[in-house]
Amino acid sequence: MIVGLIVAMATIQSTQASIDFWLQKPDTIMPGLNHITVYCKNGGGMDGDFYLTIKFTNASFSTQTEMPYTKVDDSTVQIKYVLHKGDSNEKTIYFTTNQTGDITISVSLQKASLIEFIKANALYPTQLTYQWNSQTQIYNCTNQQ
């Protein structure tokens, strides 16, 4: 019984999608229109069907972003991916700063289906925080997770 369970677990691990995802890290952003790149790669043994959700705090998503995407609200966008094993993708997301405090940008992964075998690997960084510098009139990255 234990051997059967070990074999089943090994089979699932070798045939699941293993999705790495992360954000590009600009050291600074300017007031107004900016962009950030979101990356993902499937290093697993099967196709991965998932969404990456990009959320902004004190910034607004810009429709200058190339389709396809689903705009959830002014500060959240979802992008649907189907990555075959070994494939990777990057997408440039445009946003506008609101100049009302620190700006946070985060990315997370959600399975497209409950029966999907996906291992989500959040690689550094998946969240960036920028603080306004009144002397230089730019936002500086002060925290990354």
Q: Could you tell me the CATH number of the domain that includes residue 132?
A: 2.60.40.680
With CA atoms as reference, report the closest residue to 101 among 139, 63, 50, 141: 139
pLDDT at 14: 58
Q: Coil, strand, or helix at residue 36?
A: strand
pLDDT at 4: 44
Burial 97-127 (b: 16+ CB within 10 A, else e): beeeeebbbbbebebeeeeebbebebeebbb
pTM, 2 dp = 0.86
pLDDT at 99: 74
Q: What is the mean pLDDT of each run of 10 residues along the chain (145 residues)?
A: 44 75 95 96 96 97 94 95 96 91 95 87 95 93 92
pLDDT at 116: 77
Task: Indicate the number of domains in the chain.
Answer: 1
- Tokens 């396809």, located at residue: 68
Range of the domain at 18: 2-144
